Amino acid sequence: MNYTVVLNGCSRTVQSQAEEMAAFIETNLGAAAPGRCIIFYSAPEKKDELATLSPAETLLLVRVQRYQPEVFLSTLARLAQEEAAPMYLFPGDYSGSELAVRLACRLGGSSLTAVQKLEPAQEPPACYKTVYSGYLQARLTLRRKPYCLSIARGGAGQSRRTAKVRETAELDMTGAAEASFSRMLEFKEAGRGGLEEASFVMAAGRGVDSKAKIEKFRQAAAELGAAFGVSRPVAMNAWAPLSSLIGASGAITRPRLCIAAGVSGAAAFYAGIEKSEHIVALNTDEFAPLVQAADVAVIDDYAAVLEELLRLIRQERELKAKEE
Ligand SMILES: Cc1cc2nc3c(=O)[nH]c(=O)nc-3n(C[C@H](O)[C@H](O)[C@H](O)COP(=O)(O)OP(=O)(O)OC[C@H]3O[C@@H](n4cnc5c(N)ncnc54)[C@H](O)[C@@H]3O)c2cc1C
């Protein structure tokens, strides 16, 4: 089957993405399967090195300002209008899975993430992936083209067939509008009214795990301009002052944005944040009540998410400072 591979050359993990992809293609589609590779990149000095990572013989290098899913998606949708591909393959990291699902939605196709094995000879193709925390393997049939898949992690470091790229084209998308999906929210710093007046609140729960980590979380909140709050176990453990308690026995907040990390979302806590305009839950447990109630939930260790958020905001601020 004809395939299109999409690699994110703005990512530090592009090398392993390419290795995993090459191994997946060789095992599931065969080395001779016709395909093309689209590599998005932002650093022109890395262009030649990135070109060597293509697992397909036809290569399109797309230059972008930086990694921005909206720009990747609008470019892919535009290219699909010119030349429709029956199958798109994305790497198995978070951004690959996000792009696979969102591209399928835009193009009216089907998506599946973390695909381990593919039976391309069948039409529509059948895909295999592990489910129920790895206890079972599911065989799923895709219904509508284009099939947008992200592949399962693993397979990097295996000896890789290097495709001889026969055709290379380039596209410059550095001027593309970035913000059509994201929305800017302006926040007032928590003033005298503290938590109850703040337009941005960051709340830490027992999942943050220790006094030292709560202090680090408080500093991150200050850096991001958020008022700092905690759940009852955090206050009861004396990891934070009682004045920062959110909930039925503490502050009732009404922010535009509340990020709650390591908080399960018990009713007594939720009473303190339910009037938020947007709630983002960071939790390792996808079944936590707050994950179900939040507008956005990230299922991961809160510390990793917070670190990445800080990195992005610092980068954004640096870029802004340079522009001014
Ligand atoms: C009368 C009464 C009044 C109360 N008033 C309040 C109140 O005002 N405010 C309040 O908060 N509670 C109040 N409580 C307590 C409330 O019922 C809950 O016990 C409390 O909110 C639970 O706090 P938590 O979510 O931080 O902890 P837990 O319920 O223990 O949840 C911890 C969460 O962290 C997650 N987690 C663990 N590790 C990580 C990680 N590394 N990254 C991301 N997530 C992780 C876990 O999956 C879990 O969901 C009251 C209780 C009573 C009986």
pLDDT averaged per 10 residues, the chain (length 324)? 92 92 91 90 94 92 92 95 92 92 96 93 89 90 94 71 79 78 58 80 97 97 94 97 96 96 98 97 95 93 94 84 75
Supply the residue whose CA is at minimum distance from atom 48 of ligand 1. Answer: 264
| DSSP H or E stretch at residue 132 | none
Segments in 12-135 forming alpha helices (H): 14-28, 47-51, 69-82, 94-107
> What is the pLDDT at residue 155?
63
Report CA(206)–ligand 1 centroid distance (Å). 6
Report CA(185)–ligand 1 centroid distance (Å). 28
Asked if the 194-323 domain carries CATH number 3.30.70.270, the reply is no
Q: Which of 269, 270, 282, 308 to mutate to test the pocket of ligand 1 (most atoms within 8 A of CB)?
A: 269
> What is the pLDDT at residue 222?
93
Q: Helices 211-224 and 302-323, interaxial angle, to 10°? A: 30
Q: State the DSSP string of 152-172.
A: PS--TTS--PPP---EEEEEE
- Say how far residue 156 (Cα) sits from the centre of its chain: 20
- The domain defined by 3-172 folds into Rossmann fold (3.40.50)
> What is the pLDDT at residue 320?
76
Ligand 1 neighbour 105 (Cβ under 6 A): no
Give the position, in ligand 1's atom list, of the atom nearest the Cα of 247.
8
**CATH 3.40.50.1220 residue spans of the chain:** 194-323
> What is the pLDDT at residue 318?
84
> What is the pLDDT at residue 31?
79
- Say how far residue 97 (Cα) sits from the centre of its chain: 8
Report CA(190)–ligand 1 centroid distance (Å). 23
Ligand 1 neighbour 312 (Cβ under 6 A): no
Report CA(289)–ligand 1 centroid distance (Å). 10
